[in-house]
């Protein structure tokens, strides 16, 4: 089994708070790896260290053998790591279709392209690709809507489309179903499962909804107070006494 | 057509007709009539409409698309003006090298200023550009006098070498800027009844250039590059997590708009070969901001409209004096006429800024999309109501 992402001894301190304490993680290629844990366990902080938003105090994050620490967000994305944000981070003034075409163009053209005179409507390949992804997520009837005018659930789905359209090697999902209806959640699970199986994308998913976690994850890491307290296949996590203590026994 | 969709092509056509026929419809009142004062169809003013239109179109590519508010764009217009006059002095009295070189010089200058200023965003970016422009202004007026002519300005003289078409010293008069012998100041006057229309060479050169750069600006707005610029305005940080580096995009937009400003400066000196430091002052930078906001930030045609309105106010409203007002209100009873003159007096003549300021306030408060945004919004609402 090849390792897609290897996290070694990552530490991050905010003032007096040790947000991440010697975190180690092995994510297998082509698998879905869930990170769970109580609020404030450091899950989002860890994800921020992967995408260049935060720089850890020490430790390395190796993606296919190359260290991601110290690289800029756009360089990390161009290396094949896409992130789906927890609170929708979309281009509110643009249309749904444009929101998805931007990451698709970034994937094809790289960090900068001075194509100032090429008409956007001639980019039919990019458009088709974006429409296909939006169709998968059931948003084909909202292509020309302004992103700002959509419901919270739709914004979450748009976020997902922006990540998926890049065909990343590693997809980071930060609570992808938060704010979605039950039906949309189930649809999202199906989409992610389908993509995981058909394209072999490695995924790291942070999630509070245990239904989502146990439907998708091949492996689960449990984070509590900045430390990984357990890493195992889903069946074994449920019965792990340390995990039960962290969630129920008041780790604080 | 021309790589544009139907609506954009119609808009281009509309602007073309507007610009081509401006000498006719800007003179709606017969010569010598009471309202001849409002006629704007004289070459000097019409040239300014177009030149500042080009300046504002370029400014809108930066401010309208990326949201980066530069408060120092007059520096590029000034740099372009100086470069243009030097071309007219050293190379040839033909305006083409002046126009081309002024654009290039402004491009290089804006690359340097943009590279530094774009390390910051928001108010800090605006302050940095303002600081650079004021610095350029102060330098041009003082230590750079050998290049800029200092406070008297830079102009063509009898002793200019003009290596391509020979010095003018022998003939005894300073040649006027021309396009292959056709002087910029040359006009054809056509009288139809009481109306007088002036068709000016310089004006139509400006019109030709404006149509080209307006077309380029539409293409930029509708390109993947333009979409990235809009994304920068909408959510700059998200763009970097999408694999795009925002910096080269903002820098490219800054340089393009700087080149538009330089081009405007080059045309300005081609019409009147004189460049002064005051062209770089912060009031000039502020003026293009007002033009863009008044017409409609981020709309394709708004800046041209805004430039036209501000220049019209500046040149026409400022000329209305009390004598004219008394003439207009002469048909009223004496007391009432005096009263009307007193009321209108602060808004015209030297008080034209008051009218402009009021208009600007009304637009910003009630039409946040500027005049063009307001009109399109109105049309959309009317259309929707009709379709129900």
Same domain, B15 and B45: yes
CATH class of A1-80+168-252: alpha beta
- In a domain, residue B310? The reply is no
User: For residue A34, how many other CB atoms are within 10 A of its CB?
Assistant: 23
Q: State residue B346's pLDDT score.
A: 86
User: pLDDT-derived band of residue B13, with 50, 70 and 90 as boundaries?
Assistant: very high
**Cα nearest neighbour of B226 on chain A:** A116
Cβ atoms of B251 and B86 within 8 Å: the answer is no
**Cα nearest neighbour of B8 on chain A:** A119
Q: State residue A251's pLDDT score.
A: 43
* C-alpha distance from residue B165 to each of A115, B86, B156 (Å): 40, 14, 14
* Domain extent at residue B322: 316-388
**Ranges assigned E (strand) in A185-239:** 202-206, 219-224, 227-232
A77 CB neighbours in chain B (<8 A) are 240-243
- Helical H segments across chain B, by residue range: 6-25, 43-66, 74-90, 95-117, 122-141, 145-148, 201-221, 224-240, 246-271, 282-295, 302-315, 322-328, 334-344, 352-366, 370-387
Residues 2-41 of chain B with CB under 8 A from chain A are: 3-5
- In a domain, residue B308? The reply is no
Question: CB B235 to CB A91 under 8 A?
Answer: yes
| Residue A140 half-sphere exposure toward CB, CA atoms < 13 A | 8
Q: State residue B134's pLDDT score.
A: 96
A146 CB neighbours in chain B (<8 A) are none
How high does pLDDT run on average in chain B?
A: 92
Residues 235-274 of chain B with CB under 8 A from chain A are: 235, 237-245, 248-249, 252, 256
Residue B309: pLDDT above 50? yes
- In a domain, residue B378? The reply is yes
| Residue A172 half-sphere exposure toward CB, CA atoms < 13 A | 24
* C-alpha distance from residue A138 to each of A12, A131, A171, B272 (Å): 39, 10, 20, 61
A59 Rama class: left (phi>0) / alpha (psi -120 to 50) / beta: left
Cβ atoms of A184 and A57 within 8 Å: the answer is no
Q: State residue B387's pLDDT score.
A: 53
A114 CB neighbours in chain B (<8 A) are 225, 252
User: From first to last of its 252 residues, what are the pLDDT tens digits of chain A?
Assistant: 789 999 999 999 999 899 999 999 999 999 999 999 988 889 999 999 999 999 999 999 999 989 999 999 999 999 999 999 988 899 999 999 999 999 999 999 999 999 999 999 999 999 999 999 999 888 999 999 999 999 888 898 899 999 999 999 999 999 988 878 888 899 889 989 988 888 889 999 998 888 999 999 999 999 998 999 999 999 888 888 888 887 765 444
DSSP letters, B61-106, are: HHHHHH----S-THHHHHHHHHHHHHHHHHT-SBHHHHHHHHHHHH
User: pLDDT-derived band of residue B170, with 50, 70 and 90 as boundaries?
Assistant: low
**Cα nearest neighbour of B242 on chain A:** A103
B223 CB neighbours in chain A (<8 A) are 115-120
Cβ atoms of A43 and A85 within 8 Å: the answer is no
Same domain, B370 and B287: no
Same domain, B140 and B285: yes
Q: What are the residue boundaries of the structural domains of chain A, listed by start?
A: 1-80+168-252, 90-167
Per DSSP bridges, beta strands A17-28 and A3-14 are antiparallel
Residue B2: pLDDT above 90? no
**Among candidate residues B301, B333, B354, the one where a domain is terminated:** B301
Of A245, A201, A203, the residue nearest A222 (C-alpha) = A245
Contacts of A219 (CB under 8 A, 6+ apart): A27, A28, A31, A32, A33, A34, A231, A232, A233, A234
- In a domain, residue B222? The reply is yes
A55 Rama class: left (phi>0) / alpha (psi -120 to 50) / beta: beta
Q: Is B239 or B384 the better-scoring residue by pLDDT?
A: B239
Distance between CA atoms of residues B183 and B188, nearest Å: 12
Distance between CA atoms of residues B345 and B364, nearest Å: 25
* C-alpha distance from residue B272 to each of A166, B44, B156, B267, B373 (Å): 54, 9, 10, 9, 34
Per DSSP bridges, beta strands B178-179 and B182-183 are antiparallel
B241 CB neighbours in chain A (<8 A) are 51, 53, 73-74, 77, 83, 85, 89
Strand partners of residue B62: none
Residue B65: pLDDT above 80? yes
* C-alpha distance from residue A186 to each of A164, A177, B33, B247 (Å): 17, 9, 77, 39
Residue A146 DSSP code: B
User: pLDDT-derived band of residue B140, with 50, 70 and 90 as boundaries?
Assistant: very high
Q: State residue B331's pLDDT score.
A: 85
Contacts of A241 (CB under 8 A, 6+ apart): none
Cβ atoms of B155 and B95 within 8 Å: the answer is no
Cβ atoms of B215 and A116 within 8 Å: the answer is no
Residue A202 DSSP code: E
Same domain, B40 and B172: yes
Strand partners of residue A220: A34, A232
B251 CB neighbours in chain A (<8 A) are none
Question: CB B238 to CB A89 under 8 A?
Answer: yes
Distance between CA atoms of residues A140 and A154, nearest Å: 12
Same domain, B267 and B295: yes
> What are the phi and psi torsion angles at A18 (to 5°)?
-85, 95
- In a domain, residue B306? The reply is no
- In a domain, residue B186? The reply is yes
Same domain, B256 and B333: no
Distance between CA atoms of residues B134 and B116, nearest Å: 15
Same domain, B120 and B65: yes
Q: Residue A224 CA to chain centroid, in angstroms?
A: 20
Distance between CA atoms of residues A53 and A13, nearest Å: 15
Residue A249 DSSP code: T
Based on the number of CB atoms within 10 Å of its own CB, is A15 exposed (0-12), middle (13-18) or buried (19 or more)?
Answer: exposed
Same domain, B149 and B112: yes
What is the token pair recorded at B270? 């081609």
Same domain, B294 and B330: no
What is the token pair recorded at B94? 């033909």
Residue B227 at interface with chain A, using a CB cutoff of 8 Å: yes
Residue B97: pLDDT above 80? yes
Q: State residue B320's pLDDT score.
A: 85
Domain count, chain B: 2
């Amino acid at each position: 089994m090849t390792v897609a992402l290897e996290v070694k001894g990552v530490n991050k301190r905010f003032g007096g708070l040790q947000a991440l304490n010697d975190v180690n993680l092995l994510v297998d290629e082509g698998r879905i790896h869930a990170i769970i844990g109580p609020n404030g366990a450091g899950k989002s902080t860890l994800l921020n260290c992967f995408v260049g938003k935060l720089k850890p105090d020490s430790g390395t994050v190796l993606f296919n053998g190359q260290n991601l620490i110290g690289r800029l967000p756009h360089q990390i994305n161009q290396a094949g790591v896409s992130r789906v944000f927890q609170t929708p981070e979309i281009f509110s003034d643009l249309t749904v279709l444009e929101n998805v075409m931007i990451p698709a163009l970034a994937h094809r053209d790289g960090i900068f392209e001075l194509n100032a005179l090429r008409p956007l409507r001639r980019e039919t390949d990019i458009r088709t690709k974006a429409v296909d992804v939006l169709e998968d997520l059931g948003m084909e009837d909202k292509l020309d809507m302004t992103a700002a005018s959509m419901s919270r659930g739709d914004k979450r789905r748009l976020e997902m489309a922006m990540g998926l359209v890049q065909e990343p090697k590693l997809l980071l999902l930060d609570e992808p179903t938060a704010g979605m209806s039950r039906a949309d959640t189930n649809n999202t699970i199906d989409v992610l499962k389908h993509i995981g199986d058909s394209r072999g994308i490695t995924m790291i998913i942070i999630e509070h909804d245990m239904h989502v976690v146990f439907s998708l994850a091949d492996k689960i890491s449990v984070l509590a107070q900045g430390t990984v307290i357990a890493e195992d296949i889903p069946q074994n996590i449920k019965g792990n006494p340390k995990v039960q203590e962290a969630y129920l026994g008041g780790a604080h | 057509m021309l790589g544009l969709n139907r609506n954009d092509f119609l808009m281009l056509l509309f602007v073309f007709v507007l610009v081509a026929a401006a000498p006719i419809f800007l003179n709606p009142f017969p010569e010598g009539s009471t309202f001849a004062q409002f006629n704007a169809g004289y070459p000097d003013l019409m040239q300014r409409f177009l030149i500042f239109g080009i300046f504002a179109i370029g400014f809108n590519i930066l401010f309208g698309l990326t949201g980066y508010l530069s408060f120092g764009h007059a520096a590029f217009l000034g740099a372009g003006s100086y470069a243009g006059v030097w071309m007219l002095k050293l190379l040839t009295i033909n305006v083409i090298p002046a126009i081309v070189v002024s654009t290039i010089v402004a491009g290089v200058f804006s690359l340097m200023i943009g590279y530094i200023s774009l390390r910051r965003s928001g108010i800090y970016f605006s302050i940095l550009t303002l600081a650079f422009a004021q610095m350029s202004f102060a330098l041009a007026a003082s230590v750079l006098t050998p290049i800029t002519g200092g406070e008297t300005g830079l102009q063509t003289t009898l002793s200019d070498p003009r290596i391509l078409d020979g010095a003018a010293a022998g003939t005894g008069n300073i040649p006027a800027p021309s396009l292959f012998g056709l002087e910029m100041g040359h006009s054809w006057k056509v009288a139809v009844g009481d109306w007088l229309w002036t068709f000016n060479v310089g004006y139509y050169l400006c019109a030709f250039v404006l149509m080209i750069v307006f077309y380029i600006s539409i293409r930029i707005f509708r390109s993947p590059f333009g979409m990235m610029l809009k994304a920068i305005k909408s959510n700059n940080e998200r763009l970097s997590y999408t694999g795009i580096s925002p910096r080269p995009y903002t820098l490219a937009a800054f340089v393009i708009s700087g080149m538009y400003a330089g081009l405007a400066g080059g045309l300005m000196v081609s019409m009147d070969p004189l460049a002064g430091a005051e062209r770089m002052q912060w009031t000039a930078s502020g003026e293009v901001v007002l033009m863009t906001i008044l017409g409609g930030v981020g709309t394709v045609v708004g800046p041209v409209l805004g430039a036209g309105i501000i220049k019209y106010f500046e040149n026409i409203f400022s000329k209305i004096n009390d004598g004219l007002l008394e003439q207009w209100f002469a048909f009223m009873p004496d007391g009432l006429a005096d009263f009307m003159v007193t009321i209108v007096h602060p808004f015209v003549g030297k008080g034209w800024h008051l009218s402009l300021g009021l208009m600007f306030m009304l637009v910003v408060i009630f039409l946040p999309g500027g005049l063009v945004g307001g009109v399109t919004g109105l049309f959309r609402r009317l259309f929707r109501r009709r379709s129900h």
